[in-house]
């Protein structure tokens, strides 16, 4: 029997600083997918959380003279408040400091030891504390030498400096599973998306020779210890990756959620951490004889004009600033409309405001305002009963709506949010054109044309119902505002079986409402956004 479930995860976020709009981008995308699948009748489990161990966290806590646990407690609450502001509909927020997660991680580590997948050795190489990641010399983008030509340091691909480490460490036998992984790639061509990410994994990491991975550290204490050798802390990436199954209760007394939802339908991650998810994670699962996730999607970065957002560079935009001034759905729309999911995109205040004024205020907001005003004016606020093909333009409007619905569903299933939104806006623009074509203000002057005028009003109301239905997973607040003004209930917004021509029969009172997206003064708003952009001083933990 085919499962009617859908399990989606964000990466768990590393709380070494305040999350910015790039982190929100990932989470909003996942939330949109989760909402869409729920509306399509799936039993969805949506997981997010925080990755709370490691040397970097320990150092950050020391800076504030508090314990690492106190630090991550505060940061986790900060993340939860942000997700609440962004209306993220997650089902579980996991923390790697959760007692249940730690117990499962330790149990799994011991299993790897027993079956010989992990062995004790010595690590000598390069480590980036900022990335919590090991690198070979060939992976560094810049290498530092002393006057005698000896390598003394370097720069990781992330731009962070690495330091040489020499310490006793446990290693995972990645080489044991590499042929099996490559065969899996071949047999499952859609496993890693976009396909360019898979090619990168093969060419940059596997073909040169996949080394066994150091999976423990002894130079810090803020982590999960190895049960049989407590001097060792389990490598934070092993700790983090296990969250996807520990959150479901794998290897615990109650594994009902694991049995119900695993394998994951999709892990969504930023491209900078795709290696851990596309190489190490599948191998870890193979070693546990578990099914692999159906898809791993490595999306692109949200950049500023000059570079990737970075607190150290002072070019960070925080979601709270935009939401509190422009509304949540303006941000959700912009992030999913501006960037083709999978590619890099550039955030600019100008582009953000152009989308708000042009597509949200002018196209959608103006359409709703005009339709509501005309129904109130011509039919005392009651939408006429639906009638097919009364005017010469009705058939084409209905045809456009059908094509848009089909395109939208294909795009959403394919994780192509910008394509889905472009389809919706095609219908919005067609409905605005329909107003000009039918000229209801002229029809209203001739009593003989009352039937045509009624048809125009209900076709416009129906177009807005379809638009609101399609917008549900992407812009839920906007959907609520549109349906409120149309006097519709949630029952009228059935996405799964949506078709044009289903507007509720009988009189529906249309509510008068304020513009859902008021036009903005671009010059002053650009100045406001630039003022809010971080100037380079990281907004650290606030302590009373």
Query: How many structural domains does the chain have?
Result: 3
Asked if residue 164 and residue 97 are part of one domain, the reply reads no
| Interatomic CA distance for residues 388 and 508, integer angstroms | 18
Answer whether residue 220 shows pLDDT above 90.
Answer: no
Tell me how many degrees the CA angle 379-380-384 measures, rounded to the nearest 5.
Answer: 40
Asked if residue 150 and residue 140 are part of one domain, the reply reads yes
Q: What are the two backbone dihedrals, phi and then psi, of residue 44, each rounded to the nearest 5 degrees?
A: -100, 140
| Interatomic CA distance for residues 412 and 26, integer angstroms | 15
pLDDT of residue 166: 86
CA end-to-end span of the chain: 55
Asked if residue 448 and residue 425 are part of one domain, the reply reads yes
Tens digit of each residue's pLDDT (9 = 90 or more) over 451-506: 999 999 999 999 999 999 999 999 999 999 999 999 998 888 999 999 999 887 76
pLDDT of residue 313: 54
Q: Establish if 542 belongs to a structural domain.
A: no
Please say which residue of 206, 227, 255 terminates a domain.
Answer: 206
In CATH, what number is assigned to the domain containing residue 183? 2.170.220
| Interatomic CA distance for residues 473 and 412, integer angstroms | 10
Asked if residue 148 and residue 297 are part of one domain, the reply reads no
pLDDT of residue 540: 37
pLDDT of residue 536: 35
pLDDT of residue 544: 32
Distances (CA, A) of 27 to 64, 106, 329, 479, 486: 28, 28, 14, 20, 30
Asked if residue 486 and residue 362 are part of one domain, the reply reads yes
Q: Establish if 120 belongs to a structural domain.
A: yes
DSSP state, 264? P
Asked if residue 384 and residue 286 are part of one domain, the reply reads no
Q: Within a 10 A sphere around the Cβ of 141, how many other Cβ atoms?
A: 11
Mean of pLDDT over the chain: 91
Asked if residue 486 and residue 360 are part of one domain, the reply reads yes
Distances (CA, A) of 163 to 156, 216, 451: 10, 17, 78
Torsion of CA 503, 505, 506, 508, to 10 degrees: -20
pLDDT of residue 309: 55
Length of the chain as a residue count: 544
Q: Establish if 13 belongs to a structural domain.
A: yes
Answer whether residue 71 shows pLDDT above 50.
Answer: yes
Answer whether residue 46 shows pLDDT above 60.
Answer: yes
Answer whether residue 541 shows pLDDT above 50.
Answer: no
DSSP state, 342? T
Pairing of strands 43-50, 5-9: parallel
Here the contacts of 534-540 (C-beta below 8 Å, separation 24 or greater) are 534/311, 534/314, 534/315, 534/316, 534/317, 534/318, 535/314, 536/311, 536/312, 536/313, 536/314, 537/314, 538/17, 538/18, 538/311, 538/312, 539/17, 539/18, 539/311, 539/318, 540/17, 540/64
Q: Which residue's structure tokens are 């008021």?
A: 518
Mean pLDDT over residues 24-52, rounded? 97
Answer whether residue 284 shows pLDDT above 50.
Answer: yes
Q: Establish if 225 belongs to a structural domain.
A: no
Asked if residue 145 and residue 74 are part of one domain, the reply reads no
pLDDT of residue 506: 65
Q: Establish if 212 belongs to a structural domain.
A: no
In CATH, what number is assigned to the domain containing residue 429? 1.10.730.10
Residue numbers of the domain that contains 241: 5-112+237-325
pLDDT of residue 538: 42
**% of the chain residues with pLDDT over 70:** 95
> Residue 49 corresponds to which tokens in the numbers above?
């959380």
Tell me how many degrees the CA angle 18-20-415 measures, rounded to the nearest 5.
Answer: 135
Mean pLDDT over residues 150-161, rounded? 86
Q: Establish if 535 belongs to a structural domain.
A: no
Tens digit of each residue's pLDDT (9 = 90 or more) over 297-340: 999 888 876 655 555 555 678 899 999 999 999 999 999 999 88
As a three-state string, the secondary structure of 347-400 is CCHHHHHHHHHHHHHHHHHHHHHHHHHHHHHHHCCECCCCCCCCCCCHHHHHHH
Mean pLDDT over residues 350-364, rounded? 96
3-state secondary structure of 92: strand
Asked if residue 152 and residue 127 are part of one domain, the reply reads yes
Asked if residue 416 and residue 312 are part of one domain, the reply reads no
Residue 418 contacts by C-beta under 8 Å, 6 or more apart in sequence?
A: 336, 337, 338, 339, 340, 341
pLDDT of residue 164: 85
Tens digit of each residue's pLDDT (9 = 90 or more) over 232-243: 999 999 999 999
Q: Establish if 190 belongs to a structural domain.
A: yes
542 band by pLDDT with thresholds 50, 70 and 90: very low
Asked if residue 500 and residue 353 are part of one domain, the reply reads yes
For the entire predicted model, the pTM comes to 0.91
As a three-state string, the secondary structure of 213-236 is EECEECCCCCCCEECCEEEEEECH
3-state secondary structure of 308: strand
Provide the CA 48 distance to its chain's centre, in angstroms. Answer: 10
**% of the chain residues with pLDDT over 90:** 75
Answer whether residue 353 shows pLDDT above 90.
Answer: yes
User: Which residue, 544, 541, 536, is CA-closest to 62?
Assistant: 541
Q: DSSP characters for 151-216?
A: EEEEE-TTS-EEEEEEEEEEEE-GGGTHHHHHHHHHH-TTSEESHHHHHHHIIIIITTT-PPEE-E
Q: Establish if 94 belongs to a structural domain.
A: yes
Asked if residue 355 and residue 320 are part of one domain, the reply reads no
Q: DSSP characters for 26-47?
A: HHHHHHHHHHHHHHTT-EEEEE
Answer whether residue 523 shows pLDDT above 50.
Answer: yes
| Interatomic CA distance for residues 211 and 533, integer angstroms | 41
More confident residue, 22 or 405: 405
In CATH, what number is assigned to the domain containing residue 66? 3.40.50.620
Mean pLDDT over residues 205-216, rounded? 93
């Amino acid at each position: 029997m085919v499962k009617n479930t859908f399990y989606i995860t964000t990466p768990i976020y590393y709380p070494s600083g305040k999350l910015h709009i790039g982190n929100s981008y990932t989470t909003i995308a996942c939330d949109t997918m989760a909402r869409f699948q729920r509306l399509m009748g799936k039993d969805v489990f949506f997981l997010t959380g925080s990755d709370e161990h490691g040397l970097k966290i320990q150092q950050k806590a020391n800076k504030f003279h508090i314990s690492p646990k106190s630090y991550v407690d505060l940061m986790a609450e900060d993340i939860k408040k942000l997700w609440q502001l962004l209306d993220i509909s997650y089902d579980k927020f996991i923390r790697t400091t959760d007692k249940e997660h730690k117990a499962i991680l330790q149990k799994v580590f011991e299993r790897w030891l027993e079956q010989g997948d992990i062995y004790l050795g010595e690590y000598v190489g390069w480590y980036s504390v900022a990335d919590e990641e090991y690198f070979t010399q060939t992976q560094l983008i810049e290498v530092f030498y002393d006057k005698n030509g000896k390598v003394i340091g370097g720069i990781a691909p992330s731009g962070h400096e690495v330091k040489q480490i020499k310490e006793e460490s446990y290693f995972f036998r990645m080489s044991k599973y590499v042929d099996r992984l490559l065969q899996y790639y071949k047999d499952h061509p859609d496993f890693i998306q976009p396909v360019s990410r898979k090619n990168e994994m093969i060419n940059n990491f596997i073909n040169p020779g996949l080394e066994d991975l150091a999976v423990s550290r002894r130079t810090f204490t803020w982590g999960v210890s190895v049960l049989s050798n407590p001097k060792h802390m389990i490598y934070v990436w092993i700790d983090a990756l296990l969250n996807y199954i520990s959150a479901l209760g794998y290897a615990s007394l109650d594994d009902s959620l694991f049995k119900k939802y695993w394998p994951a339908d999709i892990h969504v991650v930023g491209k900078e951490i795709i290696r851990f998810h596309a190489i190490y994670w599948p191998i870890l699962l193979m070693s546990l004889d578990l099914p692999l996730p159906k898809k791993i999607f490595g999306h692109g970065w949200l950049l500023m004009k000059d570079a990737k957002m970075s607190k150290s560079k002072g070019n960070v935009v925080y979601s709270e600033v935009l939401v509190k001034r422009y509304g949540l759905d303006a941000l959700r729309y912009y992030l999913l409309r501006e960037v083709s999911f999978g590619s890099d995109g550039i955030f600019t205040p100008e582009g953000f405001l152009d989308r708000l004024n042009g597509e949200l205020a002018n196209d959608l907001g103006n359409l709703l305002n005009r339709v509501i005003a005309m129904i109130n004016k011509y039919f005392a606020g009651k939408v006429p009963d639906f009638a097919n093909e009364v005017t010469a333009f009705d058939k084409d409007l209905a045809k456009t709506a059908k094509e848009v619905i089909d395109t939208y569903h294909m795009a959403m299933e394919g994780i192509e949010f910008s394509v889905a939104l472009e389809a919706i806006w095609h219908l919005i623009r067609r409905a605005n054109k329909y107003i000009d074509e039918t000229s209801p203000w002229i029809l209203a002057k001739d009593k003989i044309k009352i039937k045509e005028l009624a048809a125009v009003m209900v076709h416009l109301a129906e177009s807005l119902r379809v638009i609101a239905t399609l917008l549900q997973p992407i812009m839920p607040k906007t959907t609520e505002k549109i349906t409120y003004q149309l006097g519709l209930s949630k029952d009228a917004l059935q996405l799964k079986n949506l078709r044009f021509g289903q507007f509720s029969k009988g009189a529906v009172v249309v509510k008068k409402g304020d513009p859902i997206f008021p036009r903005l003064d671009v010059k002053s708003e650009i100045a406001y956004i630039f003022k809010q952009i971080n100037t380079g001083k990281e907004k650290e933990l606030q302590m009373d």
